[in-house]
Structure 1
Amino acid sequence: MELLKKYEDFLISNASQITGIEGTLRSLTYFLPGRFHDAEFASQALFAALNVLGLYHDTILRKAAKSQGKLPSGDNIDSSPFNKYTAHWFKKSSVYKNISLVLSVISYTQVVLEMAVTKKLGKRAKWRLVFGVELLKAMLRLTLLKLTKERMLLNPNHLQRDVDPASLSTPDGYQAQSVEAKTWKGKKTGLVHPQMDAAIELNGNAKPESNGFTPAEAQRKYGDVTEYLMSKVLTPERLRKPEDTVSILNRLGKLGEVLYILRPLIYVLAIFKYGRYSWRPWLISMIVESASQAAITRSFTSPYGSTKSTMTALEKAELSRRFNQMWYNVLRGQFYERYTRPRLEKFCIATQDRFLISIVAGNITGVIRDYQPLWEKVYFYTSAS
Structure 2
Amino acid sequence: MERYEQIYINNYKMFSLLERAAWASTFLLLDRFDENELKSTLMNSVIDNVVTYHDYLWQKYSHLSKKFHLNIEEKTKLELEKTAFFPEANMKISLILSFIYNSELLLEILTDTFHSQLQGMVILTIELLKVLLRLRLLWINGGGIVARDKIPSRDKNLDKKENENEVDQLEEMNNQHYADGRKKRPNLLLLLRSLKKSKEMITERDINHSTAPDFYIILGELLWIFKPLIYLYQLHKHGKDSWTPWLMALLVELCRMGCIHKKKLNLIEKKEVNQRNIAVLLFVLRSPFYETLTNSALTNYMGNKLNVQGLSALMNMVTKLINIYRKRYFNIAGSK
Q: Same fold (TM over 0.5)?
A: yes
Q: Secondary structure at the match of 1:337?
A: helix
User: Partner of 1:21 in structure 2?
Assistant: 21
Cα deviation for residue 48 of structure 1 reads 1.5
Q: Is 1:127 equivalent to 2:120 in the alignment?
A: yes
User: Partner of 1:117 in structure 2?
Assistant: 111
Looking at secondary structure, tell me which structure has more helix per residue. Answer: 2
Cα RMSD over matched residues? 3.8
Q: Secondary structure at the match of 1:277?
A: coil
User: Partner of 1:80 in structure 2?
Assistant: none
Asked if the contact 2:19/2:51 (under 8 Å) is kept, the reply is no
Q: 1:159 to 1:320 in 2, by over 3 A?
A: closer
Q: Is 1:238 equivalent to 2:203 in the alignment?
A: yes
Within 5 Å, give how 1:126-145 maps onto structure 2. 126-145=119-138
User: Partner of 2:91 in structure 1?
Assistant: 97
Cα deviation for residue 277 of structure 1 reads 2.0
Q: How many residues are aligned here?
A: 307
Moved more, 256-265 or 272-281: 272-281
Asked if the contact 1:134/1:264 (under 8 Å) is kept, the reply is yes
Q: Secondary structure at the match of 2:145?
A: coil
Corresponding residue to 2:238 among 241, 250, 274: 274
Corresponding residue to 1:42 among 26, 39, 44: 39
Q: Secondary structure at the match of 1:186?
A: coil
Cα deviation for residue 365 of structure 1 reads 2.8
Tell me the distance in 1 between the aligned counterparts of 2:196 and 2:304. Answer: 52
Counterpart amino acid of residue 369 in structure 1:
K
Cα deviation for residue 255 of structure 1 reads 0.7
Cα deviation for residue 347 of structure 1 reads 5.1
Tell me the distance in 2 between the aligned counterparts of 1:65 and 1:152. Answer: 24
Counterpart amino acid of residue 309 in structure 2:
I
Q: 1:11 to 1:69 in 2, by over 3 A?
A: closer
User: Partner of 2:71 in structure 1?
Assistant: none
Q: Secondary structure at the match of 2:261?
A: helix
Counterpart amino acid of residue 240 in structure 1:
R
User: Partner of 2:142 in structure 1?
Assistant: 149
Corresponding residue to 2:194 among 228, 233, 256: 228
Cα deviation for residue 287 of structure 1 reads 0.5
Counterpart amino acid of residue 37 in structure 2:
E
Tell me the distance in 2 between the aligned counterparts of 1:276 and 1:117. Answer: 19
Asked if the contact 2:55/2:151 (under 8 Å) is kept, the reply is no
Tell me the distance in 1 between the aligned counterparts of 2:204 and 2:93. Answer: 28
Cα deviation for residue 152 of structure 1 reads 0.7
Q: 1:231 to 1:263 in 2, by over 3 A?
A: same
5+ residue gaps, structure 1, are: 72-85, 168-182, 203-222, 301-309
Cα deviation for residue 383 of structure 1 reads 0.3
Q: 1:184 to 1:2 in 2, by over 3 A?
A: closer
Q: 1:373 to 1:155 in 2, by over 3 A?
A: farther
TM-score normalised by L of structure 1: 0.67
Q: 1:11 to 1:89 in 2, by over 3 A?
A: closer
User: Partner of 1:315 in structure 2?
Assistant: 269
Tell me the distance in 2 between the aligned counterparts of 1:10 and 1:366. Answer: 45
Counterpart amino acid of residue 44 in structure 2:
F
User: Partner of 2:73 in structure 1?
Assistant: none
User: Partner of 1:372 in structure 2?
Assistant: 323
What fraction of aligned residue pairs are identical, expressed as a percent? 23
Asked if the contact 2:5/2:57 (under 8 Å) is kept, the reply is no
Q: 1:59 to 1:136 in 2, by over 3 A?
A: closer
Asked if the contact 1:152/1:248 (under 8 Å) is kept, the reply is no
Corresponding residue to 1:259 among 223, 227, 252: 223
Cα deviation for residue 130 of structure 1 reads 1.2
Cα deviation for residue 313 of structure 1 reads 3.0
TM-score normalised by L of structure 2: 0.76
Q: Secondary structure at the match of 1:157?
A: coil
User: Partner of 1:158 in structure 2?
Assistant: 151
Q: Secondary structure at the match of 2:288?
A: helix
Tell me the distance in 1 between the aligned counterparts of 2:200 and 2:3. Answer: 45
Tell me the distance in 2 between the aligned counterparts of 1:335 and 1:61. Answer: 42
Tell me the distance in 2 between the aligned counterparts of 1:336 and 1:185. Answer: 67
Give a deviation string over 1:64-86, Cα, whole Å, max 9, x none: 77554569xxxxxxxxxxxxxx9
Counterpart amino acid of residue 128 in structure 2:
L
